């Protein structure tokens, strides 16, 4: 991809004073539902109204979307509210129908980005289109697949492009529905610095309480916009009920977000210092998360030692750990003094956790 600056023309031309906002329900359920949410969102910062009409569900038997019927409802949204519209496309037939029915922005879902065959089919179906096309990251944390999907679209002459970060699935239990792996998103930004990057905190968190915080991290990392699932009755939504917010909550989230005010074009405010600070915050969160996990393991060891009636402190094992960590640390540029201090503190905390278990 050569002239990457042109990739963000569609966004720069919008001259927004705030991040791009895409909002609307996970799924279009009924015409009334689609229109009611749209009317509640029309006097807000929302730039594009979303509604999934073909829903990729992990297991069959769940609501799989209303299909092409919903395209007519999106048309009505545009007529009645003036908001632009968007939906997910997952094959050539979807692309053809969405373009015929004048959907303004199409996105490719995480389950499609994983498949080079599907991406190629979609690229060919959209060849030369001037619609905006956003590519969600694949479900698995594979940067090359994500980049590859975008390259296929670019090669097919699609120039109004962007990406959506919606987190990655992991087998590990975590507080997120899909782990944000911010490091991977930062790497993605470094590869395609001009490509508009939108965050989807709804699918990252899977839970409406965390949407504000994840959105703020994304903006601090210079993301260009947010996609937030919005429903007037989230708890009774036909899909992704736990993560949807009401239109009022969405407006409140937008008011509470700290947004960099600037009149300059989006590319020139990528202030390196703030970006680096946001990266440090990401790493610090990971450190705390890892330390928490280490203490959970220490407690399990505590339970075993209690059963077997073994002493908490086993100094041979501890000296072995320390020696290895000093070696690892110095190879990464950390001083021996620092590694020793840090591990002594970590060790003491582990002992405290174990003792808590052993002494009940």
Q: DSSP label at 52? A: B
Q: Which of 77, 110 has the CB closer to ligand PEP?
A: 110
Q: Which of 94, 152 has the CB closer to Mn ion?
A: 94
Report the nearest approach of ligand PEP to the CB of residue 56 (Å): 6
Segment lying near Mn ion (by CB under 5 A), choices 133-141, 237-245, 323-331, 336-344: 237-245
Q: Which does 56 bind (CB under 5 to 8 A by kind): ligand PEP, Mn ion, none?
A: ligand PEP
Q: DSSP label at 6? A: G
Vertex 134: Cα angle to 58 and 119 (nearest 5): 60
Residue 53 as a binder of Mn ion (CB under 5 A): the answer is no
Q: Which of 26, 108 has the CB closer to Mn ion?
A: 26
Report the nearest approach of ligand PEP to the CB of residue 147 (Å): 17
Residue 45 as a binder of Mn ion (CB under 5 A): the answer is no
Report the nearest approach of ligand PEP to the CB of residue 360 (Å): 44
- Residues 133, 160 contacting (CB under 8 angstroms): yes
User: Of all helices (H) and strands (E), which one includes residue 357?
Assistant: helix 336-358
Residue 244, both tokens: 């949807």
Q: Enumerate binding residues for ligand PEP (CB under 6 A).
A: 26, 52, 56, 109-111, 136, 166, 203
Binders of Mn ion in range 1-30 (CB under 5 A)? 26
Segment lying near Mn ion (by CB under 5 A), choices 131-139, 235-243, 284-292, 338-346: 235-243
- Residues 31, 76 contacting (CB under 8 angstroms): yes
Q: Which of 113, 222 has the CB closer to Mn ion?
A: 113
Q: Which residue's CB atom is positioned nearest to ligand PEP?
A: 109
Residue 276 main-chain phi, psi, to 5 deg: -65, -35
DSSP string, 205-272: HSSGGGHHHHHHHHHHTT--EEEEEB-SSGGG-SS-GGG-B-HHHHHHHHHHS-----SS-GGGG--H
Q: From the list 113, 201, 240, 244, which residue makes contact with Mn ion (rule: CB under 5 A)?
A: 240
Nearest Cα residue to 205 out of 216, 190, 196: 216
């Amino acid at each position: 991809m050569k002239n990457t600056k042109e990739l963000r023309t569609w966004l720069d031309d919008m001259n927004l004073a705030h991040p791009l906002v895409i909002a609307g329900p996970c799924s279009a359920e009924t015409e009334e539902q689609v229109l009611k949410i749209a009317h509640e969102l029309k006097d807000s910062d929302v730039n594009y109204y979303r509604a999934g009409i073909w829903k990729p569900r992990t297991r069959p038997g769940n609501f799989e979307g209303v299909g092409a019927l919903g395209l007519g409802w999106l048309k009505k949204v545009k007529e009645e509210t003036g908001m632009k519209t968007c939906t997910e496309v997952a094959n050539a037939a979807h692309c053809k129908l969405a373009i015929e029915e004048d959907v303004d922005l199409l996105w490719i879902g995480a389950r499609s980005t994983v498949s080079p065959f599907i991406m190629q089919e979609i690229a060919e179906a959209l060849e030369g289109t001037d619609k905006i096309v956003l590519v969600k990251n694949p479900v698995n944390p594979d940067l090359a697949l994500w980049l590859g999907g975008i390259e296929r679209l670019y090669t097919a002459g699609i120039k109004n492009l962007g990406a959506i970060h919606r987190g990655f699935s992991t087998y590990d239990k975590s507080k997120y529905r899909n782990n944000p792996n911010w490091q991977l998103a930062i790497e993605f930004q470094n590869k395609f610095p001009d490509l508009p990057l939108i965050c989807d905190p709804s699918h990252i968190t899977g839970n409406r309480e965390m949407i504000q915080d994840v959105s703020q991290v994304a903006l601090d990392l210079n993301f260009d916009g947010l996609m937030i699932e919005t429903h007037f009755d989230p708890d009774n939504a036909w899909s992704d009920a736990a993560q949807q917010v009401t239109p009022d909550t969405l407006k409140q989230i937008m008011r509470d977000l700290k947004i960099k005010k600037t009149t300059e074009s989006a590319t020139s405010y990528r202030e390196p210092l703030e970006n680096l600070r946001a990266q440090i915050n990401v790493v610090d969160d990971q450190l705390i998360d890892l330390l928490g996990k280490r203490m959970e393991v220490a407690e399990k060891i505590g339970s075993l030692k209690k059963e077997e009636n073994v002493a908490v402190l086993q100094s041979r094992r501890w000296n072995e750990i320390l020696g290895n960590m000093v070696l690892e640390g110095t190879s990464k540029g950390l001083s021996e003094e620092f590694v020793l201090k840090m591990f002594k503190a970590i060790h003491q905390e582990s002992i405290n956790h174990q003792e808590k278990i052993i002494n009940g």
